[in-house]
């Protein structure tokens, strides 16, 4: 059962130091208000926990012991709970009666639904962005794709893949839309990172990336949307099959 598993792997010294330094800096900065301090520390914890979930160190079904985490990060329980609530809003953590916070698991049906939502959001962002993409944007996207060609680390591959798509959407200039895309992306990204090699998806994905970039270079929004839709449909099908 999901609730019977607990955290076995401690957070790295770098992650703990990151949050602790953030904590101390806020406490020592006398001209900052308590409200800013209270808001910034949970954000730092949220980022550290999110990355551990995305890279697979905290897998779906693991129970997050709040007292243990607060001690490791050297923060208050209220700051930790706020961070966990942030992750709950991103569907990365769920709360259960008498069990507390659990890293959420993703079913095949949920994966398909998330990709359906992503299609609507990302195709819309791409349509807005393509006409406004600059030479610098396109060059930056090409650099990321070249890095992807030789990347064998699944976590780094996932991060570069995310960067590529973010570059192509950035000129949509819709912060709320891009934030929603990021949240939806994170929900499937952790599984894409973990199972990327098993799904044998890199070569197909990379070809579609180059086709997408070329369509963007030609300012062909219609073709770019068609390629992106196929790209996401393929990823959805492969991940859903793997999770079934």
pLDDT averaged over every residue in the chain: 84
The whole-number pLDDT of residue 19 equals 52
Rounded CA-CA distance 230/122 in Å is: 12
Task: Transcribe 143-200 into DSSP letters.
Answer: HHHHHHHT---HHHHHHHHHHHHHHHHGGG--HHHHHHHHHHHHHHHHHHHHHHHHHT
∠ CA 227-232-235, nearest 5°, is 125
Side-chain-facing half-sphere of 198: CA atoms under 13 Å: 11
- pLDDT class for 11, splitting at 50, 70, 90? low
Looking at the predicted structure, is the pLDDT value of residue 144 above 50? yes
- For domain 108-243, the CATH architecture is Up-down Bundle (1.20)
Q: How many CB atoms lie within 10 A of CB 164?
A: 22
Q: Where do you find CATH 1.10.10.10 in the chain?
A: 2-103
Class of the CATH domain delimited by 2-103? mainly alpha
Looking at the predicted structure, is the pLDDT value of residue 4 above 80? no
Average pLDDT over residues 209-216: 98
Residue with tokens 């006409």: 131
The whole-number pLDDT of residue 109 equals 93
Average pLDDT over residues 16-41: 46
Looking at the predicted structure, is the pLDDT value of residue 46 above 60? yes
Edge to edge, the sheet with strand 93-96 lists 63-64, 100-103, 93-96
pTM of the predicted protein model: 0.75
């Amino acid at each position: 059962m999901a609730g019977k598993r607990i955290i076995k792997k401690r957070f790295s010294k770098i992650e703990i130091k990151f949050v602790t330094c953030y904590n101390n800096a806020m406490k020592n900065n006398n001209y900052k208000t308590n409200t800013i301090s209270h808001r910034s520390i949970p954000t730092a914890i949220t980022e550290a926990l999110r990355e551990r979930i995305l890279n697979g160190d905290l897998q779906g079904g693991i129970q997050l012991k709040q007292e243990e985490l607060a001690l490791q990060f050297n923060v208050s329980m209220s700051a930790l709970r706020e961070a966990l609530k942030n992750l709950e809003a991103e569907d990365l953590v769920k709360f259960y009666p008498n069990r507390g916070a659990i890293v959420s698991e993703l079913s095949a049906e949920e994966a398909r639904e998330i990709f359906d939502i992503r299609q609507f959001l990302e195709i819309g962002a791409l349509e807005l962005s393509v006409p406004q993409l600059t030479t610098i944007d396109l060059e930056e996207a090409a650099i990321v794709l070249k890095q992807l060609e030789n990347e064998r680390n699944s976590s780094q591959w996932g991060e570069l893949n995310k960067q590529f798509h973010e570059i192509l959407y950035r000129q949509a200039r819709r912060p709320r839309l891009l934030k929603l895309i990021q949240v939806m992306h994170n929900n499937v990204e952790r599984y894409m990172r973990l199972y990327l090699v098993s799904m044998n998806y890199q070569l197909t994905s990379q070809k579609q990336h180059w086709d997408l970039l070329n369509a963007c270079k030609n300012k062909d929004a219609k073709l770019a949307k068609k390629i992106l839709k196929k790209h996401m449909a393929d990823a959805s099908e492969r991940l859903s099959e793997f999770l079934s």
